[in-house]
Amino acid sequence: MKIKSLLLLQLLLVCFINNTIAQTDLSFKISVSVSPQMKEQFLKGGRLLFHLTSANDKDPRNKSEITVGVTPSDWDGLNSFVIDSKKKNVLVNGADKLKNHFSEKYFCQVVYKQNTTDGNENVEGNLYSTIDSFALTSVVKASLKLQSIIPPSVIINHRFVKAVEITSKYLSDFFGSPRKIKAAVLLPSGYYDNPNKQYPICYRAPGLNGRAIAINGMMQKEFTDWWFSKNTPQVIYVFLDSQGPYGDTYQVDSENNGPCGKALTEELIPAIEKAVNYHPENKNRYLAGKSTGGWIAVGLQVFYPDFFDGTFAYSPDPIDFEHYGLIDIYHDETIFYNKSGYLQPGRRTTDDEPTFSMKDWIHGENTNSRTGDYRVSGGQFGAYNAVFGPKGADGLPSLMFDPITGKIDHEIAKQWEKYDLKKVLEKNWSTLGPKLQGKIWIWTGDMDGLYSNVATRYFKKYLDSTTNPKSDAKISFTPMAGHTQEWSDIAVIKMVAEKAAQKK
């Protein structure tokens, strides 16, 4: 028995060693070509992203577990390009998830991210391949062909939906080429029966990288049955669009995305309100949003206190940068480790179980970016960095922290202060305070998956301390609730109608 046990132990040890070697030697060699019909659509300088997943219910590009990214140097698309993960300029994200999965079936797809006006991946103008599959081995080989292009998104065709798109002079002048901004408008059920009636209007800011086509998903039977029922509040509900070259623009002016706030308030909103016959003097213009949209809803109300008449924000992104999740950007040394030297978590469950470190998060964004760092990833921190930080010497957004070590550049972090909503209020309360009375409603869960509730707690603490005037902002927290858990378009529309009714 002892001999058999010893032999078994040795066998297990050999398997462990072989598996460790296999994991260490795991590599990807993916040959990518461009189909003849896509040759004219191909643009140099894009990012190749090879996606791998064990799930077969969605395209890998929409739900991948492993991503390999590289920006080919001088690739013209005429010949094949080989993605070789052993090369230094190739980044791999999530390969550790393949441990103990050799011989299992995986599905793969490649995307060529070439649209420089939109930081996201699955957007208009980017190329992608069909899906292939294979049994996983230590050397992943595949040949994929870019033979499809992602088409423009289209707003649903519906009598009560208006698509509004304009060419922004402000943004066109900033970028030196024509730039359009758009929105989708949902009209109240009584709109055509009462063409001269004045309705309250609410601007719904999207979550991270949200688009105006979010209205398409809303126009399903459950919602439309309610929207067109007899007692539904009569509100004009506008879906904003946050497209930007580096990801979400947060709808505010910035050095990298240009005068987005000015374009919104001086160009797009006037065009929308002219189209729906809204009169600004009625003072019934509201904001709403969740997550990134929650930050936008609070931020626009603070930056344009006279223009908007109230905001309803759920689980806003950090509105206090001393509590940027669990990071103090002004004093911490790195975003990757906390003051005790432990990995800084970036996400958690509602049971407070960390699921994702900041180090992993940023590595994922580095992988997706054509620069090999998070600046043009189109992800959360790529967007933050572009919106809140200054432009770098190379014309791209500066790096607030090192993409490899996480070390914070405090000189750049200091420049983020003008978007730190708590600091903005602290510095300007005597003028902003009176203008914000009766205009701020914020909800969040105290188990927010991104730790954004911490910043909201300190934001509330400041507002509770204010005098002349004493803030009447309504900020509430739900124990054990997660990120945006309580968001409801219907609830927002009802609150907007109730607020508007109080003005009559």
- Which pLDDT score, from 0 to 100, does residue 9 have? 38
pLDDT at 461 over 90: yes
- CB-based contacts of 129, cutoff 8 Å, min separation 6: 32, 109, 110, 111, 144, 145, 146, 147, 148
Task: Look up residue 449 and give its two tokens.
Answer: 């998956």
- Which pLDDT score, from 0 to 100, does residue 99 have? 82
Q: Cα separation of 31 and 53, whole Å?
A: 18
- Which pLDDT score, from 0 to 100, does residue 427 have? 98
Nearest 10 degrees: Cα torsion 352, 353, 355, 357: 70
Mean pLDDT confidence for 152-170: 97
Q: Which amino acid is at 289?
A: G
DSSP 420-441: -HHHHHHHHHHHHHHHHTT-EE
pLDDT at 22 over 60: no
Band of pLDDT at residue 21, cut at 50, 70 and 90: very low
Specify the 3-state DSSP secondary structure of 374.
helix
- Tens digit of pLDDT for each residue in 469-500? 999 999 999 999 999 999 999 999 999 999 99
Q: Cα separation of 217 and 215, whole Å?
A: 5
pLDDT at 19 over 60: no
- CB-based contacts of 286, cutoff 8 Å, min separation 6: 200, 201, 202, 203, 308, 309, 310, 311, 312, 496, 499, 500
Q: Cα separation of 460 and 463, whole Å?
A: 5
Q: Cα separation of 472 and 310, whole Å?
A: 12
Specify the 3-state DSSP secondary structure of 162.
strand
pLDDT at 268 over 80: yes
Q: Cα separation of 295 and 319, whole Å?
A: 7
What are the CA-CA distances from residue 137 to residues 27, 66, 131 (Å)? 9, 14, 18
Residue of 204, 271, 270, 278 whose CA lies nearest to 241 = 204
Percent of the chain's residues with pLDDT above 70: 95
Mean pLDDT confidence for 206-233: 96
Specify the 3-state DSSP secondary structure of 332.
coil
Instruction: Report the Cα–Cα distance between both ends of the chain, in Å, rounded.
Output: 89
- Environment class of 25 (CB within 10 Å of its CB; exposed 0-12, middle 13-18, buried 19+): exposed
- Tens digit of pLDDT for each residue in 409-440? 999 999 999 999 999 999 999 999 999 999 99
Band of pLDDT at residue 4, cut at 50, 70 and 90: very low
- Environment class of 439 (CB within 10 Å of its CB; exposed 0-12, middle 13-18, buried 19+): buried
Sign for the pseudo-dihedral over CA of 167, 170, 173, 174: negative
Residue 170 is inside which H or E element, if any?
helix 169-175
Q: Where are the domains of the chain?
A: 2-149, 161-320+420-501, 322-418
Report the residue count for the chain: 504
pLDDT, averaged across the chain: 94
Query: What's this model's pTM, rounded to 2 decimal places?
Result: 0.93
Q: Cα separation of 107 and 501, whole Å?
A: 54
- Which pLDDT score, from 0 to 100, does residue 71 have? 98
Q: Cα separation of 308 and 431, whole Å?
A: 16
Note whether 35 and 41 are within 8 A (CB): no
Mean pLDDT confidence for 208-212: 95
- CB-based contacts of 277, cutoff 8 Å, min separation 6: 195, 196, 198
Residue of 25, 28, 22 whose CA lies nearest to 144 = 28
pLDDT at 274 over 60: yes
Band of pLDDT at residue 100, cut at 50, 70 and 90: confident
| Shared fold status for 2-149 and 161-320+420-501 | no
- Which pLDDT score, from 0 to 100, does residue 503 have? 82
Question: Domain 2-149 carries which CATH code?
Answer: 2.60.40
Q: For residue 324, what are the β-bridge partners?
A: 327
Note whether 65 and 96 are within 8 A (CB): no
Mean pLDDT confidence for 340-360: 97
User: How is domain 161-320+420-501 classified at the architecture level of CATH?
Assistant: 3-Layer(aba) Sandwich (3.40)
Residue of 214, 304, 308 whose CA lies nearest to 259 = 304
Residue 173: Cβ within 10 Å count: 12
